[in-house]
Structures are given as C-alpha cells and as structure tokens.
A and B are shown apart, each in its own frame.
Chain A
Amino acid sequence: DAGVTQSPTHLIKTRGQHVTLRCSPISGHKSVSWYQQVLGQGPQFIFQYYEKEERGRGNFPDRFSARQFPNYSSELNVNALLLGDSALYLCASSLDRKREQYFGPGTRLTVT
C-alpha cells in the first residue's frame, strides 16, 4: 500500500511570495495533519483536518491556511513568505483523530 505522499519534494521561494504544498493520505485515512520542522528541532503542529473540517490549529499566524478535499487530500498554503518559514513541512495521516499518525517524506521549503 502507498504511504503518505507529498509534493513537491523541494521548493525555493522568495520572501513575500506564496506557496502551496500538497499531501495525499494513506487510502482510507480521513484525518490529515500538518507540521513544520525547523532544522534541529522537533516537528511543530500547524493544522489538523478531519472529514474536511479544521479540527485543530497550532500557534501559527494567519498567513498559514489549509484545506482538505472530498478525497481527503490536503493543501497547506503560506502567504507572504518570510525567511523564518524555511523548514521541512510534514504531512501526516491517520484513520481518525485519535489514532497514530503516519508521516510523509516532507517538502523542504527554502525562502531566500
């Protein structure tokens, strides 16, 4: 079975630009969560979506937004990029909100 997939793998953007990251969950999983991992740190929770509704939001500015589609895939959008947004963005899926989360390989975002 295919695991969680994310695209693109790497991305380079300029300050002030906008970026969209995509995630496809494991088949049958209805919950998708997004995490930001800055170099040398543990992942930090950004959003959780379950059944296409936002069910949790971490301590991130409104420049960060996300959505989940009817097929349970998800997009993370970041507006007005800052240098500090450079990080590995991880998507995780789970059967429901309480179950263990399985992570994708991540998207490496570099903001210059």
Chain B
Amino acid sequence: AQSVTQPDIHITVSEGASLELRCNYSYGATPYLFWYVQSPGQGLQLLLKYFSGDTLVQGIKGFEAEFKRSQSSFNLRKPSVHWSDAAEYFCAVGASYGGSQGNLIFGKGTKLSVKP
C-alpha cells in the first residue's frame, strides 16, 4: 500500500534562509509525486509534480524538489524563503498504474513559520 511520511510537523526558518522539507514515500513502483501548499482555511495549490524523467523538478514560487529513488524521498527546497511562504505544505503520492490511479495519498503536512 502507498504511504507518505513527512517527518517534520512544524519548521521555523528566518526570512532569507534556505528551506528543505522532507518527504518519504512507500510505493512498489515509480510513483507520481506532488507537493501542494495550503494557506489557512484555503484549498491546496500545486507547487510541483514528478511523473518521470529528470529527477530535479522546478515548480512555482521558486520551489524545487528532487526525486531520489534509492532513498524513496521527494524533498522540497527553496534557496531563500519569503514571509509569504508561511503555510502548510503537503507531499502526496499517486499510483502510476492500476486501479488506484488518481487516488492521491497525502502526508500529514509540515507547517512552515517564517520569522523576520
């Protein structure tokens, strides 16, 4: 069965500092991987996605993520955090084949706080 683990519940970084949010997944084959961001009381916004090919993917708002098959990880990074990045971040895995395609499994999220 698919699963996603986001080990960090809450992270605080200073504005301008670099950021890395961790995500580990469990899936029998190469999965589809996603990062979403959610502001309080809002829906989820897609930051970036990985389906295949280049393991370093670029997303919106200056975010990038790297797929590492050997570590079953898909960590999200940003070189310089802005105060507006404060939000909750969710990693999700989707099946690349079979009957459960389209059924996204989400981690529990990492809440990012940014201090001035």
A residues at B contact (CB < 8 Å): 4, 31, 33, 35, 40-45, 48, 50, 55-56, 58, 90, 92, 94, 97-98, 100-106, 108
Contact = CB atoms under 8 A, between A and B. Distances in A.
Contacts, number: 67
B90 A56 contact: no
Contacts of A4: 43
Contacts of B100: 56
A48 B103 CA distance: 7
A104 B94 CA distance: 19
* Residue of B43, B99, B107 with highest tally of chain A CB at under 10 A: B43
A3 B29 CA distance: 32
Interface in B97-113: 99-109
B56 interface: no
Interface stretch (B14-22, B44-52, B68-76, B77-85): B44-52
Interface of B: 4, 32, 34, 36, 41-46, 49, 90, 92, 94, 96, 99-109
Contact of A90 (B43, B92, B109): B43
Contact of B103 (A40, A56, A100): A56
* Residue of A4, A45, A102, A106 with highest tally of chain B CB at under 10 A: A45
A29 B105 CA distance: 21
Contacts of A105: 42-43
